[in-house]
Amino acid sequence: MANFGKKKYKAGEAVQFMTRKQALKKLQLSLNEFRRLSIIKGIYPREPRNRKRAQKGDTRIKILYHKKDIQFLMHEPIIWKLREHKIFARKIDRARAMKEFKEMRRYLKKYPIIKLDHIVKERYPTFIDALKDLDDCLTLCFLFSTFPSIKHVHRDHSALCRRLTVEFMHAIIAAKALRKVFISIKGYYYQAEIKGQTITWIVPHHFGFEPQSKCEVDFKLMSIFVEFYIIMLGFVNYRLYHTLNLFYPPKFGDTIFSEKSLVDEQAFVSERISALNIPLVNLNSSVQNEEDELEIDSFTNETDNTKIEEAKAERAKIKKLKTLFKGLKFFVNREVPRESIVFTIRCFGGDVSWDKLLFVGSTYDENDETITHQIVDRPSMEKQFISRYYIQPQWIFDSVNARELLPVEKYFMGCMLPPHLSPFSDTRHDQTYIPPEERALMDPEYKLNYNKDEEMETESEDEVESEENTEDEKKGEIEDEEDISEDEEEEDEDEDKVLVVKDNEKSTKSSAGGINEKERLNQKKKMKVKSGEITKEDPWEKSRQERQEYRLREKLVKNKHRKLYKSMIKGREDRAKAIWLLRKKRRIHDETEKAKKIELRKAKRNENKT
């Protein structure tokens, strides 16, 4: 009989996927055009369940796309613009070759422009969807805002990134939406909360740009992402400003985005930071933010009120955090990086200024007596004011992460700073290393023990120092103890005589009360209830039984889940080993620091003696 079944590779995954070469042939685009279109539309390769079946029996690894994604790209009107670009490029090349410069200029004026507004609205139909995907957008835009005009990085793109990032920072300042800050080698990590969405981005350090000798970074590919992210960030800024009742676009200084700022990096940075110190104008000053007026509803039918109480407590903490630096005036020295300091202080209601002779945008001078804190990053200063604290920049970031104004004693000028803890580490996981300083902040009981340990360390240091001083005192005490021991021997002889008399009295009493003791024993025998015996558990036997039960449970794991289970166990062991290594590293560090302190104190004591 004939086989009327389906033929091989004519259904299923073999039909659902196509290679990149097939996609280029279907769309009639070049590789660069297809790559640009797929990035802008958000179409990426997919991994099939069975690669051999999806590739129709071919075992080589190929880039596969879903058939529906390619069909979706076929209806995109940008494809026609890309084809028009090809036609215009040929016309311009021909006019240049024929030296028809008038025709070439006419073609350049009519060059087709690709607009991406409809794609942004298509990919992010709501404002919340755009906020969810804003992390990579901000990180890349802040990175490109620091680039000069180089190959594959358009000059207009970098200038527009600078403008949009400053506008976004102003929106965060106006909304007081910043929650966490952390400084690392990569740059400044910021985390803000807008409309209930958590947004985290990185701002790189401002250093002089050094061109690369090798082409290790694909700037052309990154510029395609930036081309889309610029339009996206413009939409987000527009919506943010209107929700905050602010004018958009905001007006900054006349030179902030001029040609001079594009050429002179120092002028750009100074103008950009001065813009952060300018308050924006509200559309209606009587209208307050929506978030300030929100209240948590309480339902009578709610059985679990703990979540509501936690939400109210968290809301109270955030409300207090928004006005953390309110009423404080800061002055930034010239050696301190100003942009991160100004942005962080302004987000929490503080006032900040700097030397007006060095940078523009200053609001008050250093001689102002109302200044409460001066941020210094040098060991000492000649001229100091008594009415203010001279602190290091880390105090600001640690206070923000702790959600309270920390004591300034550990952050004074020239002091050894405490460790800068990351607020992004998730302490809810079981297998995570938590430094003792961070654990002391979270747990008040551990904080007391940690402080006691520090006191014990200082006492032990003092004991080591005082060992040499006490040797002479001990010699004198030994001579005094020999005199006291002779008197104690005489007192012990008198006490022995008194004890012998008391023992004789007890023996006479026991003979008289022997009858009562027999009666008590007879009554005890008549009692039916007997006292229970305490059985001691063997901890080794208990642990052995637990291990045996655990091995039996492991044998119940199915064969298809056994590899996954083994990888989980391996990961758990690796995490435990990493925690052990970190604890060992911390213990060695503490011991070396303690030995250094002892040596320093001994050296100082010897100097004082001499």
CB 45 within 8 A of CB 17: no
Instruction: Give the relative orientation of helices 155-175 and 338-347 as an angle to the nearest 10 degrees.
Output: 30
Which string of b and e fits 584-610 if b means at least 16 CB within 10 Å? eeeeeeeeeeeeeeeeeeeeeeeeeee
Q: Residue with structure tokens 């027999």?
A: 518
The helix/strand/coil state of 49 is: coil
Q: Which two tokens stand for residue 437?
A: 């300083």
CA contacts within 13 A on the Cβ side of 265: 10
Q: Is the pLDDT of residue 133 over 70?
A: yes
Q: How confident is the model at residue 581 (pLDDT cuts 50, 70, 90)?
A: very high
Closest C-alpha to 92, from 103, 82, 84: 103
pLDDT tens, 283-295?
554 444 444 445 5
Which string of b and e fits 174-189 if b means at least 16 CB within 10 Å? bbbbbbbbbbeeebbb
CA-to-CA distance for 252 and 258, rounded, in angstroms?
Answer: 11
Q: Is the pLDDT of residue 440 over 50?
A: yes
pLDDT tens, 305-344?
778 888 888 888 888 888 889 989 999 998 898 889 999 9
Q: What share of the chain is helix, strand, coil (3-state, %, to 5)?
A: 60, 10, 35
Q: Which two tokens stand for residue 189?
A: 């990590």
Q: Rounded to whole angstroms, what are the CA distances from 61 to 13, 58, 151, 162? A: 15, 8, 33, 41
pLDDT of residue 271: 64
pLDDT of residue 296: 55
Domains assigned to the chain: 13-109 (no CATH), 117-208+218-283 (no CATH), 321-424 (3.40.50.10190), 426-464+558-610 (no CATH)
DSSP state of 561: G
Q: Is the pLDDT of residue 422 over 80?
A: yes
Residue 447 or 519, more confident: 519
Q: Is the pLDDT of residue 258 over 50?
A: no
CA-to-CA distance for 351 and 346, rounded, in angstroms?
Answer: 7
- pTM, two decimals, is 0.74
Residue 61 or 493, more confident: 61
pLDDT of residue 21: 93
CA-to-CA distance for 73 and 573, rounded, in angstroms?
Answer: 46
Q: Is the pLDDT of residue 528 over 60?
A: yes
pLDDT above 70 coverage of the chain, percent: 76
Q: Is the pLDDT of residue 132 over 90?
A: yes
Q: Is the pLDDT of residue 262 over 50?
A: no
Which of 276-290, 372-386, 487-501 is the least confident region? 487-501
pLDDT of residue 527: 67
pLDDT of residue 226: 93
CA-to-CA distance for 407 and 389, rounded, in angstroms?
Answer: 11
Question: In the predicted model, what is the mean pLDDT of the chain?
Answer: 80
Q: How confident is the model at residue 142 (pLDDT cuts 50, 70, 90)?
A: very high
DSSP state of 66: E
CA-to-CA distance for 609 and 116, rounded, in angstroms?
Answer: 79
Cβ neighbors of 434 (< 8 A, separation 6 or more) are: 425, 427, 442
Closest C-alpha to 418, from 395, 400, 401, 439: 395
Q: Residue with structure tokens 């942005």?
A: 343
Instruction: Give the relative orientation of helices 135-144 and 155-175 as an angle to the nearest 10 degrees.
Output: 130
Residue 203 or 266, more confident: 203
Q: How confident is the model at residue 109 (pLDDT cuts 50, 70, 90)?
A: confident
Which string of b and e fits 283-317 if b means at least 16 CB within 10 Å? eeeeeeeebeeeeeeeeeeeeeeeeeeeeeeeeee
Q: Which two tokens stand for residue 149?
A: 């005009």
Q: Rounded to whole angstroms, what are the CA distances from 115 to 32, 448, 604? A: 18, 61, 72
Residue 575: φ, ψ to 5°: -65, -40
CA-to-CA distance for 238 and 278, rounded, in angstroms?
Answer: 19
Q: Residue with structure tokens 């073609």?
A: 107
Q: Which two tokens stand for residue 338?
A: 């100003």
Mean pLDDT of 113-131: 92
Q: Is the pLDDT of residue 492 over 60?
A: no
CA-to-CA distance for 55 and 64, rounded, in angstroms?
Answer: 8
Q: Is the pLDDT of residue 12 over 70?
A: yes
Cβ neighbors of 491 (< 8 A, separation 6 or more) are: none
pLDDT of residue 467: 54
Q: Is the pLDDT of residue 145 over 70?
A: yes
CA-to-CA distance for 118 and 204, rounded, in angstroms?
Answer: 31
Mean pLDDT of 117-145: 93
- Length of the chain measured in residues: 610
pLDDT of residue 139: 95
Instruction: Using the Cα atoms of residue 365, residue 367, residue 372 and residue 374 in order, give the sign of their dihedral.
Output: positive
CB 193 within 8 A of CB 82: no
Q: How confident is the model at residue 433 (pLDDT cuts 50, 70, 90)?
A: confident
pLDDT of residue 259: 44
Which of 22-26, 120-124, 442-446 is the least confident region? 442-446
The full 3-state SS of 467-484, as one line of letters, equals HHHHHHHHHHHHHHHHHH
The helix/strand/coil state of 203 is: strand
Residue 503 or 71, more confident: 71
pLDDT of residue 286: 43
pLDDT of residue 605: 86
pLDDT tens, 374-388?
999 988 888 888 889
Cα angle at 551 between 550 and 556, to 5 degrees? 95
